Structure 1
Amino acid sequence: MSKLQKAVEDFCGFLLTEKGASGNTITAYRNDLGQLADFMETRSITDGWKGLDSSSLQDFIVDLKTHGYTESSIARKVAAIRSFFGFLASEGALTNNPAEALASPHINRAVPTTLTPVEVDELLEQPARRSTPEAKRDRAMLELIYATGMRVTELVSLNVTNLNLDPRFPYVKCMGKGAKERSITIHDQALEALNAYLEDGRPMLLRDPSELALFLNRRGERLTRQGFWFILKGYARSANLSEEITPHTLRHSFAAHMVRGGMTLKGVQEMLGYTNTSRIQAYVRAGLTDEVRQAYIQAHPRA
């Protein structure tokens, strides 16, 4: 392991222990910075970060462009480099930060792809047409991710203990970015799909009684992000949806439909995990459910 690679691992350890970064975030940083380390080794720069200057970093960016990386990919790598060298500077390992003036490419962000409520209904109807354990699981997953707007990583990370299926105020607890937990109310159709899966689907997939994962694959193990992606693609084809559907499409659709339905932007941001959720969590703990619950029911197309 080179000195630069060792510094990268120290930084990843810092992200995990001090910042509470997710495994996916750390993997992305490690890959991006590892790519920088490999590039510098081809330039015979082996003295770790001490051998790097702003010109070397700019050469790396030029090399990325030469190899056809998109502006969004380069922007992510620039952000990783800035964070890495900012960490080294804060640790007193640098007197001059070579990444301080590193420019990030300008990105024209496209409007997120969303489905119409009718398209969502058609998508969610696909697994409901079958009665297999996998279909019950798939229906519960699709209903839940659209009911809550949660990220796919949050969805597949759920355990059975994260559910409160009390029909008076059903909700799910999920762990978001930065290890921040939030509680999200769910509507009756999602509740019904979850109950059907827990009663007639999950027991058929379960192999180990001690397994806590909510959504299981055919081997009785926790379903992966890639597994959900594959499942979603199949149902999108069955529903004859023309757009390139991703798990984030459902998250964007949830947000767009809730805003159009009259929920405040602040309320949607809280449900998506972008801002502090102490208010809704307080309602859950105290049973003061009317404000958030009623706003949710009035705004969500399937509630």
Structure 2
Amino acid sequence: MEGIKDKELIDGFIQDCKTRRMSKHTVESYRSSLNLLLKFISEKNYDFLNVDKKIFTDYIDYLNKQDVSFSTLKNRFSTYNSFYDYLKYEDILHDNIVKDVCKRYLSKYKDNGGEKRKIVSVVEMAQFINMIPDIRDKAVVLLFAKTGIRRRELVSLDLDDINWEKMCITLKPTNKRSNRIVYFDYETVRILKRWLRKREMVADQSNKALFVSYTNKKKRLNRNGVAYIFVKWAIVAGLHNSNSDKLSEKFTPHCCRHWFTTHLRNGGEGMPREYIKELRGDAHKDAMDVYNHIDHEKLKKSYMANIPQLGIF
């Protein structure tokens, strides 16, 4: 009965996440993480409602012995923290014990010890993208750099999301993003058009995804596929060290979001901060952000003036 009860708690939490309009990927990730925790505590004859802090520290030790990465550990416990917040909100439990565990044992992962992500120069980014021989992979990396979009936003792009005349892309709605319009420049047009010519030969006609899988022409390139190809070429370029735990020695798709922000701010005329926030789709944190409407014609003009030109061929 305890096992059934725990499964019911997970189902209730998952429904709550859906009500809060979380993405399908996030919901699936939450369920997977909770099932892994349930397996661990069940083997020790515990359930979700009678665990204590020691069980969670034991679980951290267990994951460390499994060589689970810092980011995976952080993501798992972010799920557990949300789950126990839900149980507290529903008056099933009085306290969220995971919060204290995270504060004591995971804070160094959260702030990365003050370590910053790798930021490459404009020249290094140009060299990196130009050395990628596959046109799909080249287009993926270039689009990350030129738009600053997240991995999940990129893999969900469809052909119809691109407005070639206005040189912009309409992203799918997500909880994390306020503005859904991002722009691209002429060298991005050139590379995307080259990819579309190859895409006609490798994609099924029913597949509407912008980036498709090479192994199944009916499927879109997924998050793991994007991460794999990005890191593969970053290793070849000497930008990524898979054996290091240091954030500064890794070059991932999210680094392009930092690159995009940094070089828009520092390049050309220097893009205004509120324009960069708009293109990044950052959440509106105060009333001024909500009521300050951005002129998108001026925004596009500023983008074109400041986005670094990489000489991609």
Q: TM-score, normalised by structure 1?
A: 0.80
Pairing 1:235-274 to 2, within 5 Å after superposition:
235-241=233-239, 243-261=249-267, 262-274=270-282
Contact kept in structure 1, 2:53 and 2:101, CA below 8 Å: no
> d(CA) in 1 for partners of 2:11 and 2:130?
46
Counterpart in 1 of 2:172? 175
- Partner SS for 1:84: helix
Matched residue, 1:4: 6
Which of 56, 61, 65 lines up with 2:61 in the alignment? Answer: 65
Q: Paired residue for 1:117?
A: 122
SS at structure 2 position matched to 1:102: helix
Q: Determine if contact 1:81/1:99 at 8 Å carries over to the other structure.
A: no
Distance 1:144 1:100 in 2: 38
In structure 1, the residue corresponding to 2:107 is in which secondary structure? coil
- Equivalent residue runs for 1:121-270 within 5 Å: 121-127=126-132, 135-166=134-165, 169-175=166-172, 177-178=174-175, 180=177, 182-198=180-196, 200-207=197-204, 209-218=205-214, 219-220=216-217, 221-241=219-239, 243-261=249-267, 262-270=270-278
The answer to whether the aligner puts 1:85 opposite 2:81 as a matched pair is no
Aligned to 2:30: 29
Task: Give the deviation of 1:74 after TM superposition.
Answer: 4.7
C-alpha spacing 1:61/1:240, structure 2 compared with 1 (3 Å): closer
Matched residues in 2 for 1:278 and 1:146: separation? 27
> More deviation in 139-148 or 269-278?
269-278
**Separation of aligned partners in 2, 1:190 and 1:278:** 31
- Residue of structure 1 aligned with 2:297, choices 279, 285, 290: 290
Q: Are the counterparts in 2 of residues 58 and 102 from structure 1 also a CA contact under 8 Å?
A: no
1:279, distance to aligned residue in structure 2 (A): 8.9
Uncovered stretches (5+) of structure 1, i.e. residues with no partner: none
- Residue 40 (structure 2) pairs with residue 39 (structure 1): yes
> Contact 1:61–1:74 (CA<8 Å) still a contact in 2?
no
- Deviation digits for residues 11-36 of structure 1, max 9, x if unmatched? 12211x21221233223322333233
Cα separation, partners in 2 of 1:240 and 1:278, compared to 1, 3 Å: same
Distance 2:121 2:82 in 1: 38
> What secondary structure does 2:182 align onto?
strand
Identity %: 22
Q: Give the aligned residue type for 1:275.
A: A
Residue 188 of structure 1, CA deviation: 1.2
Distance 1:109 1:270, change over 3 A: farther
Q: Spell out, residue by residue over 1:122-161, the C-alpha distance to the aligned partner (whole angstroms, 9 max, x if none).
A: 122124xx5xxxx332232222111101112211111001
Closer/same/farther in 2, CA of residues 30 and 109 from structure 1, 3 Å limit? farther
What is the CA distance between 1:248 and its match in structure 2? Answer: 1.5
Cα distance in 1 for partners of 2:77, 2:307 equals 38
Aligned residues: 281
Given residue 30 of structure 1, which amino acid in structure 2 is its aligned partner? R
Distance 2:59 2:263 in 1: 42
For 1:223-257, what per-residue CA distance to the aligned partner results, in whole angstroms no more than 9, with x for missing partners?
12222233223433444446532111222211221
Q: TM-score with structure 2 length normalisation?
A: 0.78
CA shift for structure 1 position 71: 6.1
Choose the corresponding residue for 1:301, options 298, 305, 308. 308
Runs of at least 5 residues in structure 2 that lack an aligned partner in the other structure = 241-248
Paired amino acid for 1:201: K
- C-alpha change, 1:35 and 1:194, in structure 2 (3 Å) is same
